[in-house]
Structure 1
Amino acid sequence: MKKTGQDESSVQHVFIVGSKGIPGNYGGYETFVDKLTEYHQNNPSLKYHVACKAKDTKTFEYHNADCFDVKVPDIGPAQAIYYDVAALNYCVKYIKQHNIQHPIVYILACRIGPFAAHFQRVIHKLGGKLYINPDGHEWMRAKWSAPVRKYWKISEQLMTKHCDLLICDSKNIEKYIHDEYGKYNPKTTFIAYGAETRKSKLADDDQKLISWYKEKGLSPKSYYLVVGRFVPENNYETMIREFMKSRSKRDFALITNVSDKFLEELKEKTHFDQDPRIKFVGTVYDKELLMKIRENAYGYFHGHEVGGTNPSLLEALGSTDLNLLLDVGFNREVAEDAALYWNKQPGNLASLIDQADNMNAGEITELGEKSSQRVVEAYSWQHIADEYNRLLKYIKF
């Protein structure tokens, strides 16, 4: 809604397409949109319009953003492409109907490459700009078949070619865009993903926390932790295999949405079911409880190697003192010297776990202070919201 007395010409309208929607979805893009609208909800010069994937069609307001549901039929893997195209058609129609001047349409992820030139042309005719967030290397994810991977790569290429600005949440992704698609002379900028810098609201003796620990057979500082999607490129096999090789007396708790097929594959390859320290503990959707579980972990494993600035890594750096990260550019860029690093060579992580188990309290506290400071300085949601405020409000049309 337009604020009373607000000069409409001074309002920058921003249409966001590509997340599953807000509120109540907690993937990376969903959290990003939730936080961006939350931190800008009292900013009279920015007005957000957010596409939400739904089974029906309705509009509602959340964090002062106009949210619109896009009805998506059950058509398998093509759903994501259908959703983005339908949402963009809605945006175009809305911009025309409301005669919105200089709109920005911001697409999250590179799923609709074959349609990018068309939508850029239409948005330009309406006096607007098309921005893209290229996400990570979707075409490298193991879950996709070869033809689907090929589509994602072509889609990424076409969207890089047909947009006005790529907003990369990782410097490594920004470099990749220029290295791979330099012939298009893409215009890019870097604004990271964000994280909370506060501690959990739950007390140490909160009954919810105590019950969860009792149910899972865990206790504070008695476990290493991982939180993330249950997919091969997050290197669950390496982490489990190496933990089993280690001499650690602690547990390894895995908070993830287990897929039976992948779980059976892992069981067959590692026989983790024969090691009582390996504990798949299900998912935790209570954000305060999850934050507290992170804070109380002895150490955190991060095995992600596909993608930009990873949300679960930022949350770990903000919450857990001791972080053991896969040594790839994305992770080094984020954590710098505030973490320990491992590679996929046999025995490397197992040796690091044994080393971590024998660290003294002072060493661990120092790493924790460094990692928290890293998040505060470069990745706090307030900092990210301020960066977007500058970018969106002062763009030259």
Structure 2
Amino acid sequence: MKKNQKTRVAIIGTVGIPAKYGGFETLAENLVAQLGNRYEFTVYCSAPSYIGQRKESYLGARLKYIPLKANGKSSIIYDALSIVQALFFADVILILGVSGAFMIPVIRWFTKKRVITNIDGLEWKRDKWGGTAKKYLKWQEKIAIKYSNSIVVDNKGIEDHVMKEYGLPSNLIAYGANHVYKKRLGEAVKNELRLPDSFAFKVCRIEPENNIHIILNAFGETDFDFVMVGNWSNSEYGKLLKEKHDSSNNLYLLDPIYEPDKLNALRSNCSLYVHGHSAGGTNPSLVEAMYLELPIVAFDVNYNRYTTDNEALYFSTKNDLTQLLNSELMKVDNLKSIGKKMKNIAIRKYTWKVIGEAYEQLFSA
């Protein structure tokens, strides 16, 4: 690298930026925004996701398009092709996810490129993968941890797993949340969606590991109004749940909402945020809810307890959640107190300035 030339960083493994998909995309966009004046970024993007919306650059980062989807089976080739291209120019390769980790030993054997891999939770544990996929992802996790220069994990539970399973240290870096903002829920949106004045809220993919069945069954036995946004039609699990609960007077099951303003309005104005995720690590939607100062009730796994510093409310079964919803803990003053604790934790741990500084230490190591 020439003197005074910026370190060139390639970000691989996301759908791309501008972010419109999930946590890794938001991470990539905010790293570019935070560190773009000190590093030369290239972000690899999935061409099918940006039809008619392709840009040559965004926030100063160069965008390179791969003609494949970034998720599912094609993610393996998508990541591999991105890595091969990046080898021709990048000094640092930041890989988000482990789908293409089999390429990392090749990089390390034949180049001096610095490889940083964020292993994205324990992906091989997710219920949505079949046996073969689980074995492949577990194998890729092992390769990534063994051969990367640095490993990033987003939760203390995963940091403990890496040390216990592989005897190696990792870098705990979560996600920022200060890109979210409070938005007034106008009467037009309330009327359009036919919403009650006060409600609990959840938004997520409709998957068994997010415990939607427990949450709907519990709320269905209370008078607590509950609004949920999700992709109900994408699986038999979702279709059956919607068919079973759609006629409930206090359950409002909404299809996916992609307008950030509308989604933020719903989240900002709920009286309680419900987080049912049982797999993965630090979930971006959870830290966003915390930053919005929402009281949280979360599924009781170590990932969620670590994220919320044990200061939220927790449930493991339908009965747990039903009892919580019917308890004194749902009083307004108590929920406000929990919300303030969530906000304070988010300010301390989950801002993009904090996250950017942590990644910069790895880029410059």
Q: TM-score, normalised by structure 1?
A: 0.84
Question: 2:337 is matched with which residue?
Answer: 366
- 1:350 corresponds to: 322
Deviations 1:279-316 (A, max 9, x none): 21122222233222112101111010111110110111
Which residue in 2 is equivalent to 1:111? 99
- SS for the counterpart of 1:242 is helix
Work out whether 1:121 is the aligned partner of 2:109: yes
Match among 64, 71, 88 for residue 68 of structure 1: 64
Q: Write the letter of the residue equivalent to 1:140.
A: K
Q: 1:272 aligns with which of 233, 245, 254?
A: 245
How far did residue 26 of structure 1 move? 2.7
Aligned amino acid, residue 152 of structure 2: I
Q: Map of 1:1-16 to 2, 5 A cutoff?
A: 8-16=3-11
- Does residue 307 (structure 1) correspond to residue 280 (structure 2)? The answer is yes
User: What does 1:126-145 align with in structure 2 at a 5 Å threshold?
Assistant: 127-145=112-130
CA displacement at 1:260 relative to structure 2 = 4.7
Larger Rg: 1
Are residue 81 (structure 1) and residue 76 (structure 2) matched? yes
Equivalenced residue count is: 360
- Aligned partner of 1:38 in structure 2 is 33
Contact map agreement 2:242 2:253 (CA 8 A) in 1: no
**Match for residue 339 of structure 1 among 284, 291, 312:** 312
Instruction: Tell me what 2:218 maps to.
Output: 242
**Which residue does the alignment assign to 1:255?**
229
The CA deviation string for residues 112-142 of structure 1, in whole angstroms up to 9 with x for no partner, is: 23333112223xx2x3211110111211111
Structure 2: which amino acid aligns with 1:53? S
Root-mean-square deviation (Å): 2.3
Q: Do residues 383 (structure 1) and 354 (structure 2) align? A: yes
Instruction: Note the alpha carbon deviations across 1:12-62, whole angstroms, 9 max, x for none.
Output: 221110011001423110011111111223x2x311111111149977111
Are 2:10 and 2:42, in contact at CA under 8 Å, matched by a contact in 1? yes
Q: Offset of 1:163 from its aligned partner? A: 1.0
Match of 1:100 in 2: none
For structure 1, which runs of at least 5 residues remain unmatched after alignment?
Answer: 1-6, 96-102
* C-alpha distance in structure 2 between counterparts of 1:140 and 1:151, whole Å: 11
TM-score where L is the length of structure 2: 0.91
Partner of 1:3: none
Distance 1:290 1:267, change over 3 A: closer
List aligned pairs for 1:127-276, cutoff 5 A. 127-182=112-167, 186-196=168-178, 199-200=181-182, 202-203=183-184, 209-220=186-197, 222-245=198-221, 247-248=222-223, 250-258=224-232, 259-266=234-241, 271-276=244-249
Q: CA deviation at 1:219?
A: 3.5
TM-fit CA distance, 1:257: 1.9
Q: Unaligned stretches of 5+ in structure 2?
A: none
Residue 320 of structure 1: how far off its partner (Å): 4.7
Give distance in 1, aligned partners of 2:348 and 2:72.
39
Query: Shift of residue 352 of structure 1?
Result: 0.6
Q: Identity across aligned pairs (percent)?
A: 28
The match for 1:54 is 47
Q: Supply the distance in 2 between the matched residues of 1:389 and 1:301 (Cα, whole angstroms).
A: 33
